Structure 1
Amino acid sequence: MSHQKFASRVIALIALNLLVKMVWIFFVERKVQLEVGFANYGEYYSILNFTLILGIINDPGLHNYLIQSLASSSSLNNSSKFLQLKFFLAAVYIVVSWAIALIIGIGGLLLWLLLAYQVLFSFLNYQRSFLKAHQLYTAEVFLSVFDKALLIVAFLPLLYFNFGLQWSVRVYVLAQIISVFIAVACCGFYLSKKQITLFKTVCFSFDFSLLKKLVPYALFAFLVLAYQKTDAILLVKLLPNGGEQSGVYAAAYRFLDASSMLPILFASLFYPTLCNLITRKQSIEVLVRDSLFTLLGLSLIIAFVSWFFRTPLMELFYQQQNTPQLELLFGLLMFALPLIVMYYVFSSVFTAQERFRILNGVSALGFAVNLLMNFILIPRYQAVGAGMASLISFALVALLYLLFYHQNFKPLTQKNAYLKLGLFTAFLWVFGLIITSFALNWMIMLPLYAILSLTLALVLKIVKTPKQFFKARHCQ
């Protein structure tokens, strides 16, 4: 496959995922929360985060390793070992999750439903690894969003037209399980039509040596998930109204999740390009600089827009469920976006260099600080305290990555860029104070603020245009 064709497929994957993700978050997930109530949704959100954190047991990077194995060998013997190991890890994941849940007081049908969903979804990703390895990118793009697209088609009429249905989080999770099961069946059927089998032999021989190679990646992924996802769990455990506060946290965090798609999807292109440059022993400084400051410029605009227009935005999305607490939490959490950008850029650099001592050390410290801050701040400030703890831990991780990057790579071309970024941040703050002082409709002020801010970012060359960014030197 030509590089141009491959690039077009990757761009299609990003665009389709972004579209489906946005529709899912804002038109389905948000509406379900309003239907079932903040307290019920908060309980679901807490257990969901618990299953996500331990999900690294179910998938410690096995899928990516499978792709490399299939690409380097035409034999299916290895894939048989992978599948057996996959089933073994799924069983361990369920047992360990159940045991820990029992200890910390999480239980009930909802836990088992979410565990089933995580196992099924992970198996779908496992199947999609075969599509990637055999370069069946059209099918891969389609199946990457198929389960969510099914739910969107099914849920939108039910949520927005009065059919008199009684919504519950169990119904919501069951529907997700059914949609993933359908996606797994469709993917399996497609693989069989292409005469691609998931295994060759039924002889059981677990190859645990594979896990040793995956431990550094798995530990890093676990620590990152731990300091990003423990907040909702602790809210439920530390507060008498924990379900409601977790629901408030979920409502605000939803927007950070959505905006984080920008650096996440960018990293899917950034990381392989980095690896290619490093393999060919070429400089990565210009690519890192342009990627970092372009994403920082855009994320700062999003963060300041969210802060200055937090009240009308929360009123628009949550109507009578909106509260001053939700507005403040939303505004605070969105300032984590630039820090998340720094995390994705610098962690991609260190992962490409296999600097796992830095990655795991920083992530472990971030997790420890996050836990400490949550125990201190949640009892006093509730959901806002969890948001403050997240912001502090994100800031610590981003700062340490920045320091280690400059210590290890000693970039020479970023001093002026940091100065311009500081001036741009000051402008965003002052301009926001000025524009919100006028008694104008916020639907006029918000786009005006965003457009003028983006224009200044382009003039200062903090944010690169697509033509400027994708220069030949980035892709050579």
Structure 2
Amino acid sequence: MIKPVAIFGIDATVQNQVGSEAYGLYFSLLNFTFLFNILLDLGINNFTTKNVAQYPGLMTKYMGRIAGLRLVLFVLYAVFTLILASVLGYPPEVYPVLSILITQQFLIAMIAYFRSYLSGMLLFRLDALLSVLDRFLLILLCGAVFFFTLPGNAFKLEYFIWIQFISYILSFLVGLMLVVRHIGTSKIRFHRPISFLIIRQSIPYALLIVLMMLYTRVDSVMLERMLDDGAVQSGIYAQGFRLIDAFFMFAMLFSNLLLPIFSRMIGLKENVKELFSLSSKLLIWGSIALASFCFWNAHEVLDLIYTNDIEKSVPPFQLLMLTFVAMCIILIFGTYLTALGEMKTLNTIAFIGLIVNVGVNLYLIPRWGVWGAAVSTLMAQSVVAVSQLYIVAKRLKLNWQFADAGVFMLFVAVCFSIGWLGILYNIHILLQMGALIACLLLFKVINIRLFSSILFASKK
């Protein structure tokens, strides 16, 4: 609940206040620091969560050693990112902001590290509190600045950057105090055997995260670097991407629940086909209904949130909404492949997706700008989605019948017809939403049986 408020109430308002060009440069730099932030983790959080639960005394002893590894990784990440920024030709004036964002990524990684200890000790309330504390502080502090800014005094992007940085620092300090309170203190030092053990076990997962981050986040960086008005184009792209990011956040909650259930059922050699089919239908068919609504009502949706460059944002946003369907396919099918331990397969597919994304971006961005970046994203995500779908269908031996395909195509046609007729006859968007919900119920996409299946599986 808190994170969407921060996305739409704060981030979107900041972009409305400072304009697409200023925010676009910031958005490009932010995504640039995301590209290789896996260097700050390399699987440490997964290692910690698992082993704290199993060996609490041992992990208390290792806390300082793992913190020492994190400091070494931060230095490597910071040096690598700054060198890469220089190679890509970022001007000197952006380096102060870039340095803040690099340090901010370290704070985010450390907060996640503290959360891994709390969740490993089954302190889920504290873990939940820490997970949203930075966004909550951002809402309070930035909201106060919005409220007390005098008319005629423009809100500056620098205010937002510093407020966000302060929010992460305060969250870091709270996380540190919570962990020290429940575990105690430990001397920070670099321990080579523990460090190599974690890295060796986590390389396949780290590589997958890097590849996925690259083909998901590289578009805005390439836009800003390749075009003369790249900052403006990146800002326009950010308006649509922010909505996709928010929608994807809720889809991620679904996959996070399914991953341990799939893993346990596979370990017990239970049949996961029924649960997989039910969950994939809810997530994928639901994403189609949402995508159709936003595709046909893109202007109205964007107009509810933004004040700048709405007309220019509509075409890329429409393509990004179609991309959202592919992203949901990747989420559910990739979750199953992860539970199977098919890391080589996932990394190969992700690498292909990266090649497609970068290659198409290099060709289309100079010709079509932000629309070209959206086309590239749609193509890359679709290639990954179709590849994973084909492999999972073979693994699970999913024999889709002609009738099943016919029902699916009918559902897609009905969803997109609702939006098309809504535009054609000027039907209110609330009536369109009602019709789509009725469609989801009619085709039994919203299925009580699914939720009972997940609850039953989680209690075994």
**SS in structure 2 of the partner of residue 260 of structure 1:** helix
State the distance in 2 between where 1:314 and 1:94 align.
36
2:166 equivalent to 1:178: yes
Matched residue, 1:276: 264
Matching residue within 188, 202, 210 for 1:222 = 210
2:297 equivalent to 1:292: no
Q: CA deviation at 1:78?
A: 2.9
Query: Deviation per CA, 1:70-108, whole angstroms, max 9, x where unpaired?
Result: 222221333333222111111111111111111111252
2:61 equivalent to 1:85: no
Distance 1:99 1:322, change over 3 A: closer
State the distance in 2 between where 1:203 and 1:35 align.
45
Matched residue, 2:355: 368
- Which segment is superposed worse, 242-251 or 181-190? 181-190
Aligned residues: 450
Aligned partner of 1:96: which letter? F
**SS in structure 2 of the partner of residue 167 of structure 1:** coil
Matched residue, 1:169: 157
State the distance in 1 between where 2:345 and 2:2 align.
34
2:191 equivalent to 1:205: yes
Distance 1:313 1:161, change over 3 A: farther
State the distance in 1 between where 2:72 and 2:296 align.
50
Distance 1:235 1:204, change over 3 A: closer
State the distance in 2 between where 1:143 and 1:203 align.
25
State the distance in 2 between where 1:127 and 1:336 align.
34
Matched residue, 2:25: 43
Q: CA deviation at 1:268?
A: 1.3
2:130 equivalent to 1:146: no
Aligned partner of 1:128: which letter? R
Aligned partner of 1:101: which letter? A
2:339 equivalent to 1:356: no
Query: Deviation per CA, 1:333-368, whole angstroms, max 9, x where unpaired?
Result: 111111111111111111111101110000000000
**SS in structure 1 of the partner of residue 424 of structure 2:** coil
Query: Deviation per CA, 1:368-391, whole angstroms, max 9, x where unpaired?
Result: 000011011111111111011001
Q: CA deviation at 1:169?
A: 2.8
State the distance in 2 between where 1:157 and 1:56 align.
33
Distance 1:202 1:331, change over 3 A: closer
Matching residue within 253, 260, 265 for 1:265 = 253
Query: Deviation per CA, 1:92-146, whole angstroms, max 9, x where unpaired?
Result: 1111111111111125211101001100111111111111111111111111101
2:99 equivalent to 1:109: no
Matched residue, 2:48: 66
Matched residue, 1:410: 397
Q: CA deviation at 1:454?
A: 1.9
Matched residue, 1:13: none
The answer to whether the 8 Å contact 2:141/2:163 transfers is no
Query: Deviation per CA, 1:212-254, whole angstroms, max 9, x where unpaired?
Result: 1111000000000000001001101110000000000001111
State the distance in 2 between where 1:416 and 1:457 align.
18
Q: CA deviation at 1:33?
A: 0.6
Distance 1:439 1:84, change over 3 A: closer
Matching residue within 283, 294, 301 for 1:306 = 294
- The percent identity for this pair of structures is 26
State the distance in 2 between where 1:101 and 1:128 align.
30
Q: CA deviation at 1:468?
A: 4.4
Report the TM-score, using the length of structure 1 for normalisation. 0.90
Matched residue, 1:8: none
State the distance in 1 between where 2:378 and 2:414 align.
22
Matching residue within 29, 32, 37 for 2:11 = 29
State the distance in 2 between where 1:354 and 1:469 align.
25
The answer to whether the 8 Å contact 2:142/2:160 transfers is no
Unpaired runs of 5+ residues, structure 1, are 1-18
Unpaired runs of 5+ residues, structure 2, are none
Aligned partner of 1:279: which letter? G
Aligned partner of 1:281: which letter? K
Q: CA deviation at 1:300?
A: 1.0
Query: Deviation per CA, 1:46-81, whole angstroms, max 9, x where unpaired?
Result: 111111011010112211111112222221333333
The answer to whether the 8 Å contact 1:305/1:450 transfers is yes
Matched residue, 1:458: 441
Q: CA deviation at 1:414?
A: 7.3
- Which segment is superposed worse, 46-55 or 59-68? 59-68
Matching residue within 239, 242, 259 for 1:251 = 239
Moved over 6 A (4+): none
The answer to whether the 8 Å contact 1:249/1:329 transfers is yes
RMSD of the alignment, in Å?
1.8
State the distance in 1 between where 2:96 and 2:124 align.
37
Aligned partner of 1:205: which letter? H
The answer to whether the 8 Å contact 1:335/1:391 transfers is yes
Query: Deviation per CA, 1:11-54, whole angstroms, max 9, x where unpaired?
Result: xxxxxxxx111101111000001111111111111111111011
The answer to whether the 8 Å contact 1:43/1:236 transfers is yes
